Amino acid sequence: MAAIDQIIVWAKGLSPWLGDLVRRHLISSAEFELSESDYKDVLKIARNEFKLDDQPHPIAPIYPESSMLSGSASSTKAVILKSISDCKRVNVIKETEVLPFSEKGVTVIYGNNGVGKSGYARVLKLACSARDKKDVVIPNIYAPTSVEVPTAKINLIVNGAPESVDWVQGGPSSDLLSNIAVFDSRCARVIIDEKYEISYLPYGADVFEKVVASASRIKADIESALENEIAIQDSAIHPETTAAAFLASLSATTTAEQIEIACSWTAEHEAGLLEAIELQRVSQEGAVTAEISRLSKSKERIEATSNSINGFLQTTAAVTKDAVQSSLVTLDASIKANAIAIAERQVQEPLSGVAATSEWEILYTAAKKYSEEVAYPEREYPYIGDGSACVLCQQPLGDGAKERFQRFKRFVEDKTADDVRAARAAISQLRKTVQDSSLQSDEVASLSVEGVKEFDKAVVT
């Protein structure tokens, strides 16, 4: 059994995360360390295996298989490399070219720079799953650009019979081609010992050193994460008890025996528990009585508050923002109308006592009665239409006389002062309703300060 096959068998006996780590190192390029992406994946797999994460990692560990590596096939067959042909988009190699290999002995391929030697080598390394996969096949840079991937045909003799494998860059590897081992300066590791003698490690043997380095790094990262883990907490455990101290001391070095001792339940513990239960029962009896009394008083307060609220709502149902604004608008209009009426009274009349004595009011009332019943029945007094005359002097009414009669009527029938008093009384009643209330709803609360000030201002005005 080849060394690489023995390494694969050995890896399958390891824990899943370590087996996956070996696989990643085996299929990675021999001269490069594990990529950071691969390392993070293995670290997550290890954390999941050790149950350090709340949610399982979606990436499952994969053990190495023979078909994954050059020179280690899952089924051993006698495979002879016969030729490489039909190379398309492989460097400068023409599609019609064929690179033959001798069925026996050694085939030496030589030529000038840029004729395709390295291109054939890259095809073989990628097709046969060589450890070095850093190089990729690129098309001829001088040819028209193409999005198609490079392809080639690998011609073999398998167990004495001809057989061909179509290779596509980036496509799945053929298990048959895994029987072919591909080495170059980047696939094999050279070691110079202390005597300056050059020797080669067996194919794949360098994986041990790299696995140890990666595993040590993973171990350090996990230990660092464990140190930063939040200590176990339980709200039922008092922080100053022995149990709390034990939980705080738990670590990776805590033994099963220490846990067993800390979790043991003795007769002394049982007696202490029974004593605590009895003490709690006695204490609760007095607490229950006190709680009943407290709840009864709370019930009385709540009922009284409810009754008060209901009464308040009934009393203040009419005290709304719209009602207050309407009262203020009415008062403002009444005050303006009254001011106009007062201004008209200041007009100087030709005779004294007009609109100011009871005698004048008697005269006005008699003239009004004579006009409505005798002179101009069914017409509103004073009648100042076309051809109208004064009911006292019988003279035609001029414009000045008509205006004077209209002014007399407005004065006698003026009720603006009464309207002002009524509007102020309405506002005073609303204000009194708010002030007499023992509670304040949202609407009334908005009136209790600013609203009362408006009431006071309106009443004083």
pTM of the model: 0.39
Q: Are residues 390 and 448 in the same domain?
A: yes
* Number of domains, the chain: 5
- Return the HEC string of the chain: CCHHHHHHHHHCCCCHHHHHHHHHHHHCCCCCCCCHHHHHHHHHHHHHHCCCCCCCCCCCCCCCCHHHECCECCCCCCEEEEEEEEEECCECCCCCCCEECCCCCCCCCCCCCCCCHHHHHHHHHHHCCCCCCCCCCCECCCCCCCCCCCEEEEEEEECCEEEEEEEECCCCCCCHHHHCCCCCCCCCCEEECCCCCEEECCCCCCHHHHHHHHHHHHHHHHHHHHHCCCCCCCCCCCCCCHHHHHHHHCCCCCCHHHHHHHCCCCHHHHHHHHHHHHHHHHHHHHHHHHHHHHHHHHHHHHHHHHHHHHHHHHHCCCCCHHHHHHHHHHHHHHHHHHHHHHHHHCCCCCCCCCCCCHHHHHHHHHHHHHHHHHHCCCCCCCCCCCCCECCCCCCECCHHHHHHHHHHHHHHHCCHHHHHHHHHHHHHHHHHHHHHCCCCCHHHHHHHCHHHHHHHHHHHC
330, 423 contact by CB (below 8 A)? yes
Q: Are residues 13 and 56 in the same domain?
A: yes
Give the integer Cα–Cα distance in Å for 90 and 14: 40
Q: Are residues 329 and 454 in the same domain?
A: yes
Q: Are residues 60 and 97 in the same domain?
A: no
Question: Cβ atoms within 10 A of the Cβ of 150, count?
Answer: 23
- Indicate the Cα dihedral angle 48, 36, 169, 11, nearest 10°: -50
pLDDT in tens, 144-188: 777 788 999 999 999 889 999 999 988 887 878 877 877 766 655
Tell me if 23 is assigned to some domain: yes
Domain that holds residue 37: 3-65+207-217
CATH number for 126:
3.40.50.300
Q: Are residues 326 and 455 in the same domain?
A: yes
Report the pLDDT value the prediction gives residue 447, as an integer from 0 to 100.
42
Identify the segments of the chain with pLDDT beneath 50: 190-192, 440-452, 454-455, 457-461
Tell me if 201 is assigned to some domain: no
Q: Are residues 282 and 160 in the same domain?
A: no
Classify burial at 312, counting beta carbons within 10 Å of its beta carbon; exposed 0-12, middle 13-18, buried 19 or more: middle
Q: Which of 424, 405, 402, 413 is nearest to 341 (CA)?
A: 413
Q: Are residues 339 and 455 in the same domain?
A: yes
Report the pLDDT value the prediction gives residue 196, as an integer from 0 to 100.
54
Q: Are residues 322 and 439 in the same domain?
A: yes
Give the integer Cα–Cα distance in Å for 450 and 331: 18
Between β-strands 190-192 and 198-200, what pairing exists: parallel, antiparallel or unpaired?
A: antiparallel
Task: Please give the structure tokens belonging to residue 408.
Answer: 């007399």
pLDDT in tens, 278-335: 888 777 777 777 777 777 887 888 787 777 777 777 777 777 888 888 888 888 888 8
Report the pLDDT value the prediction gives residue 345, as an integer from 0 to 100.
61
Q: Are residues 332 and 459 in the same domain?
A: yes
Tell me if 191 is assigned to some domain: no
Classify burial at 411, counting beta carbons within 10 Å of its beta carbon; exposed 0-12, middle 13-18, buried 19 or more: middle
Q: Are residues 439 and 326 in the same domain?
A: yes
Q: Which of 159, 145, 151 is nearest to 122 (CA)?
A: 151
Q: Are residues 60 and 131 in the same domain?
A: no
Q: Are residues 340 and 414 in the same domain?
A: yes
Tell me if 440 is assigned to some domain: yes
Bridge-partner residues for 85, per DSSP?
153
